[in-house]
Amino acid sequence: MTQKSTPSEVRLKRPLRWQVGTLAAVRQETPRVKTLTLSLPEWIPHRPGQHYDVRLTAPDGYQAQRSYSIASEPERSGEIDLTVELLEDGEVSSYLHQVLREGDQVEVRGPIGGYFVREAAIGGPLFLVAGGSGVVPLMAMIRHRAAAGSRVPTRLLFSSRSAEEIIYAGELEALQAAQDGLEVIHTLTRSQPTGWRGYARRIDRPMLAEAIAPLGDAPWTYVCGPTLLVESVANLLVGLGLPTDRIRTERFGPTGSPE
Ligand SMILES: Cc1cc2nc3c(=O)[nH]c(=O)nc-3n(C[C@H](O)[C@H](O)[C@H](O)COP(=O)(O)OP(=O)(O)OC[C@H]3O[C@@H](n4cnc5c(N)ncnc54)[C@H](O)[C@@H]3O)c2cc1C
């Protein structure tokens, strides 16, 4: 016997269509990272943590496609922010950084993903762990949390190479200063400014134990960054006794640059 689908089920099953976005604004976040604001003719509200695919097509028909997390909160309609790190010899990231100009068009498809997502209404507490540009989907969660007026206890442990390379540094500081339950803990792995009082090493077991302690036994935990960082952090969290069903991970790269 066949069952009829409701209209909403039909909509969910329909494959996502490519659409042409327009680059509305560019913001330099750090020396190697830019945020691109794309206005979309078919904007769909996303879930914080989801991503878009970007597809480039050369005049000879050659295509390259990569995924980029949505940095903006779903409360901002009509456009999305993608925050892209420039990789040496990176095919797509170098095009997005060095060729694409305001007013140019770019093909995108999304929002995609139903696992590495978090709405403020679900509650917490939340433990977020990021390496470099892995902070992007976590920033969407943090921005959404603020936009929704959530006060769920949330801690972000954020590993960057140096102070200059901290993505969203100013905004994170301002959000933390609002004292609504968000705390940001930085570690700088390669160089630290004079008088630096944060961590100064790669994320390890004692650092995770200290950072997670105020959140109780089993906070919802999201880890994102280079593959090596994500795997190491996930293993350490399991070793610390965090239930595996509380840990969600997203890997950005094949090997990733060491943080
Ligand atoms: C779900 C998802 C979300 C993502 N979100 C973001 C995001 O928000 N911002 C962002 O900057 N990137 C993000 N990425 C990574 C992105 O999709 C690309 O892999 C990255 O931009 C490299 O593409 P490229 O064409 O420039 O480099 P490529 O030409 O593919 O690779 C160039 C060189 O860099 C290495 N490399 C490839 N990817 C990475 C990486 N991520 N880290 C370090 N080295 C790498 C390759 O091994 C190669 O040596 C995401 C990936 C996934 C799967």
Q: Please return the burial class of 139, using the count of CB atoms within 10 Å of its CB with bins 0-12, 13-18 and 19+.
A: buried
Predicted pLDDT at 255: 52
Give residue 14's pLDDT: 62
Q: Is the CB of 89 under 6 A from ligand 1?
A: yes
Distance 90 CA to ligand 1 centre (A): 8
Give me the pLDDT at residue 83, please. 98
Measured from the CB, is residue 91 less than 6 Å from ligand 1?
A: yes
Whose C-alpha lies nearest to ligand 1, atom 41? Answer: 253
Measure the CA–CA gap between 7 and 105, rounded to whole angstroms: 32
Q: What is the pLDDT of residue 15?
A: 73
Residue 162's contacts (CB-CB under 8 Å, 6 or more residues apart) are 188, 190, 191, 192
CA 82/CA 103 separation, integer angstroms: 16
Going from the first residue of the chain to its last (259 residues), give the mean pLDDT of each consecutive group of 10, the final group possibly shorter. 44 77 98 98 97 97 97 98 96 97 98 94 92 98 97 97 98 97 98 97 98 95 97 98 97 62
pLDDT score recorded for residue 112? 97
Which atom of ligand 1 is nearest to 112's Cα?
A: 1
Q: What order do you get walking across the sheet with 105-112 strand by strand?
A: 63-69, 51-57, 105-112, 19-30, 33-39, 79-85
pLDDT of residue 1: 39
**Residue 177 burial (CB count, 10 A):** 9
Ligand 1 mean position, distance from CA 167 (Å): 16
H-type helices in 14-82, by residue range? none
Q: Is 68 in the pocket of ligand 1 (CB under 6 A)?
A: yes
What span, in angstroms and rounded, lies between the C-alpha atoms of 90 and 97? 10
The pLDDT assigned to 8 comes to 47
pLDDT, position 10: 47
Q: Would strands 19-30 and 105-112 be described as parallel, antiparallel, or unpaired?
A: antiparallel
Is the CB–ligand 1 distance for residue 247 below 6 Å?
no
Cα 252 to ligand 1 centroid, rounded to whole Å: 6
Structure tokens at 246: 């509380």
Distance CA 228, CA 52 (A): 23
Q: What is the pTM of this model?
A: 0.93
pLDDT at residue 6, as a whole number: 46
Quick one: DSSP state of residue 121? G
The alpha-carbon radius of gyration of the chain (Å, integer) is 19
Residues 110 and 133: their CA atoms lie apart, in Å, by: 19
